[in-house]
Amino acid sequence: MVLGLFSNKKRQRLRDQPAPDTWVRIISRNFPLFNRLSPEDRAELLGHVNVFIDEKYFEGVGIDIDDEIRVTIAAQACMLLLHRDTDYYPNLTTVLVYPTGYTAHESRYVGGGVWEEGPEDRIGHTAHNLRALVIAWDAALHGASDPADGVNVVFHEFAHQLDFENRSADGTPDLETRADYRSWSEIMTREFHRLRNSIPYEYDGLIDVYGAQNPIEFFAVATETFFERPRALQEKHPEVYAVLSNFFRQDPVTYSSEIIA
């Protein structure tokens, strides 16, 4: 109880503390979505970045960690926390940063009682039973710099972390009410199966087909689309947009740079 009170006071102090000017310049340059936020949201985001960098350990694998790496990744991760009560990704301790994509060897379930073992190229990874999250720096920087291409590995991997907060990995984050859970289950399950069944015949090309693997990946890629292509998501999948807007307490259409032809 005392430890929790101390932690909350420290976090509030960090949120109230101005971010270093160098950090603000890095975020403004590398993450242009930041510049489209309201002054209030920019201030809230910077406060979250202060806490995130204080609490999470960054470790480089073949790359030296500096403020540009920390702040660019932290700003994107903290976009998912705006307007909500947050415990700052409590299952995460360490952010491992590779300079570029890497190959992992693993066993993975492919269905029908069959497991497949072999290499897999990755630009990011996290799991429910880990305290770490892996990010390729070049992919994180690219995702930050183009806020409307629908691809953002930091949003994707940290959506997984949000999924883990209710002590499971099932594509459903920690929601507030039973009604929220019912709505989420009905809409996201239906849209997941709609994506899976539409490939390759009626696929609209918006939500990444990677999300057809399972509900866990569907939530992660839908989060990427929600923040980066909100206008298209609202137009083509309005119910998905609505449940994500309710969860994230945000309406990215209001600050999107997306252009709909």
- Residue 38 CB neighbours (<10 A): 10
CA distance 86 to 55: 13
| pLDDT tens-digit readout, 228-261 | 999 999 999 999 999 999 999 999 999 988 777 5
CA distance 17 to 98: 30
CA distance 159 to 190: 20
| pLDDT tens-digit readout, 184-213 | 999 999 999 999 888 777 777 899 989 999
Ordered structural domains, the chain, with CATH: 1-165 (1.10.472.150), 170-261 (3.40.390.10)
Q: Which residues contact 96 (CB under 8 A, 6 or more apart)?
A: 59, 60, 61, 132, 133, 134, 135
CA 254 to chain centre: 19
